[in-house]
Structure 1
Amino acid sequence: MEKTLNAEDIAAGVERLATAIREKHGGKHVALVGIRSRGDEVAERVLTLLSADDWDLSFGVLDISLYRDDFEHLHENPLLQESDIAFQVEGAHIILVDDVLFTGRTIRAALDALSDYGRPAKVELAVLIDRGHREMPIQPDYVGITLDTRRLDHVLVSLEGTDGKDEVRIVEKEKP
């Protein structure tokens, strides 16, 4: 069985993220940092919505490839991309943005990577999709879409800028 979310569902999730961030921080300086890949595109979309309010925001992109605890299980030559954080992390209020929150391990790696840039005053987490099944004590501050999934299901996110279309596919896996 396969379920899908379409471009309108994704846009509504991004709007929920922007609305929640606006309600909590409206006008206060925050920095959105998107986790490559796809978290950066979600962060750009949130930034676009918040910037319409003439809100001064910082933006950055974080590649966590070398910080993952499953590095040895990835491809032989993982695609390393550049991080781009052109603002002072030390003392900043940062909102990490990712596409899907699952076990929490990606966020742990992102926190490790971010700490190499300095010590932020505060870090919050915004995710387009929270699918549950944490392995680490990490919870989002902002959620666009909550999905009820089983542990072995696959949540496959496609975004226009990265993949050419906006779609989320939930592929249900049968228990072994």
Structure 2
Amino acid sequence: MSILNKSMPLLSGDIQDLSVYQGQVVLIVNTASNCGFTYQYEGLQALYEQYKDQGFVVLGFPCNQFAEQEKGSNSDIATFCQKNYGVTFPMFAKIDVNGSNAAPLYKELKTTAPGVMGTENIKWNFTKFLISKSGAITRYGSTTKPQELINDIEAALYQSI
């Protein structure tokens, strides 16, 4: 699956090869610390804790492209996520998800799983992409709460879709 054939820097600065997540169910989310949807960190962490031992992982990608709601440094973001939400799932260095400087991961996600009416651009923070074990990708908007993904996550984990 080419989507995960990339390496990306974590908040710590270490480089993570995304191919280690191949064969798992992966939820990729662009995040922000000062957004009306920031509370979703709590739900994302709950999903991660509930399903991580069954082959599920959440990957968070902070982004400052939406009303500058992620102004902090990578260190600031790490502290915020841990202190306020107890985040233990992998969090990556701040990236762009739209425009000419968009991370290659997001360029591919948007092309493979466009939004409503074929729109590729990410519209806001906390847009989610669920990747099944086989590489099928489903896109969800910012207003979709993490707990609303449970049926799709379980289907991807247990039905090999």
Same fold (TM over 0.5): no
Indicate the structure with greater strand content.
Answer: 1
Tell me the TM-score normalized by structure 1: 0.30
The structure with the larger Rg is 1
Q: Please, what TM-score do these two structures have when normalized by structure 2? A: 0.32
